[in-house]
Structure 1
Amino acid sequence: MSQALLSLVQWLSPAFPTGAFAYSHGLEWAISEGEVRDADTARGWIADVLRFGAGRTDAILLAHALKGHDLDALTDLARALAPSAERLRETEDQGAAFAAATAALTGRMLPARPLPVAVGQAAASLGLPVAQVVALALHAFAANLVSVAVRFVPLGQTEGQAILAALHPLIEDLAATAAEAPLETIGSAAFRADLAAMRHETMDVRIFRT
């Protein structure tokens, strides 16, 4: 295993200080409303977010950042794609934290950008295959959502790991597609997840920031 791959795994691990554990991506609202209530509904919700929502859009943004696309243009697009105030803060705050943490480790100062663009601008120097980087980023995103479900549904740890394992084929397919997808094909259709993020903003009691 290369040092570059180990660096990427470290950057995308739950221990890396981006604060990912504090964000539910609207899943907290879905759980509180009973729409996500067990392992099956959690797996379905997360799969839809990956296939039709931020998973897909972030994967395409990341792929183009890795390929050297105009990072300022990608930053503007990533911000425009955020469907709610909380979603915008989620991607910007995590992206800023990611850039700061990688700069502290590598000595390479990078501007704060939305998370998929921030990961792309840092990981481009590693020289890893685009699909591999995208797959690991999608896996980290999915793992965080599974962790939310484990803590808040709640689910058992084994159930959570079974959900994540079941998502592996989807993650692999999405990464392969995103690695070759033209930027013009970007878009999402996870409307229920977007509405969940909006409704999360007005919850009286909540654990997660989004």
Structure 2
Amino acid sequence: MITTTDMSTRMRAEAANPGAAAADVLRLAQWFSPGFPVGAFAWSHGLEAALAEGRVDRDGVESWLEGILTDGAGRADVALLAEAHGAEGAALGEVDALARAMAPSAERMAETVEQGTAFATTVSALWPDLPVEPAAYPVAVGRAAGLHGLPLELTAVMYLQAFIGNLVAVATRAVPLGQTEAQAILARLTGRCEAVAQAAIASGLEGMGTASFAADVAAMRHEALYSRVFRS
């Protein structure tokens, strides 16, 4: 379990080695690039259902995504990522089991497991000396970042930015939003990522929870949509 003291120690160590920062950012930028083959573009996290049923419109999409980031899977994923960052063996398996148990629907389970499996497979192929076991997406990312010596907070912030960036891309296509409007939303939400990551890391698994009930219900209802573009 990560404590506030552990977090402070890690942050001091990261600050003491600024020369590694550029390489770390570039490695994470590759992992979270839309071109990295995890298939993130195929998943809407329930947003497609919310839009189809009129629960979210053009004016409300930013608030909807902010709720997912700050009170939903965004914050919960960081807690799981942080726990997996230094875990291995049975402990890592327990974190993965918790991540799967947190999925509120079959599609959301598939979303995290299939992306995590694809991520682990690709990272292991590119860096075979540091193989990563297939797991739920935030668990696989946390494990890989730990093995590669990547800073926890930087990994968490960039993970969140990529996560919310994918959902903004979904909104760009499905609302639809103009590209400039969509990027303005992403810029504002990206400004929240650091605070969300820090809070989730500090609270750990004991403080992990979600309060994005409408998004969870939308993910469940997505399974019954007559016409679908996205897989969740």
TM range, normalised to the smaller chain?
A: over 0.9
- Stretches of structure 1 that go unaligned for 5 or more consecutive residues are none
8 Å CA contact 1:66, 1:123 repeated in 2: yes
Misfit runs of 4+, over 6 Å: none
Aligned AA (1:53): G
3-state SS in 1 of match to 2:60: helix
| Conserved? CA contact 2:82–2:204, under 8 Å | no
Deviations 1:112-149 (A, max 9, x none): 10000000111112323211110000000000000000
Asked if structure 2 preserves the Cα contact closer than 8 Å seen for 1:29 and 1:196, the reply is yes
Counterpart CA distance in 1 for 2:212 and 2:165 is: 19
The answer to whether structure 1 residue 131 and structure 2 residue 131 are counterparts is: no
Deviation at 1:194, TM superposition (A): 0.4
**C-alpha RMSD of matched pairs (Å):** 1.2
Instruction: Output aligned runs, 1:106-145, within 5 Å.
Output: 106-107=127-128, 108-145=130-167
The CA distance in 1 between the partners of 2:140 and 2:68, in whole Å, is: 20
Return the TM-score normalized by structure 1. Answer: 0.96
Contact 2:73 2:210 in 1 (8 A): yes
Code of the residue aligned with 2:67 in structure 1: it is D
TM-score (norm 2): 0.87
Which residue does 1:2 correspond to in 2? Answer: 22
Corresponding letter in the other structure for 2:217: L
Tell me the residue number matched to 1:49: 68
Q: Distance in 1 between matches of 2:198 and 2:181?
A: 27
Equivalent of 2:186 in 161, 164, 167: 164
- The equivalent of 2:114 in structure 1 is 93
Query: Hey, what's the Cα distance between the residues in 1 that align with 2:148 and 2:28?
Result: 8
Name the structure 1 match of 2:9.
none
1:85-120, CA deviations, whole angstroms, 9 ceiling, x for partnerless residues? 100000000000000111111113322100000001
Alignment partner of 1:36 out of 49, 56, 59? 56
If you compute each CA radius of gyration, which structure gives the higher value, 1 or 2? 2
Please show how residues 179-190 of structure 1 align to structure 2 within 5 Å: 179-190=201-212
- How many residue pairs get aligned? The number is 209
Quick one: which amino acid aligns to residue 202 of structure 2?
A: E
- 8 Å contact 1:131–1:178 — kept in the other structure? no
Distance in 1 (alpha carbons) for counterparts of 2:95 and 2:74: 16
Aligned twin of 2:46: 26
Measured in 1, the distance between the counterparts of 2:153 and 2:132 equals 23
Name whichever of 170-179 and 198-207 sits farther off: 170-179
Quote how far apart the aligned CAs of 1:2 are.
Answer: 2.7
For 2:84, which of 65, 73, 83 is the aligned residue? Answer: 65
Partner of 2:7: none
Q: Which of 140, 147, 157 is equivalent to 2:169?
A: 147
The residue type paired with residue 103 of structure 1 is S
Distance 2:151 2:143 in 1: 14
Q: Distance in 2 between matches of 1:3 and 1:184?
A: 32
Overall identity of the aligned pairs, in %: 50
Q: Deviations over 1:26-48 (max 9, x none)?
A: 0000111222221x311101000
> In the alignment, what sits opposite 1:11?
31
Aligned-partner residue type, residue 47 of structure 1 = E
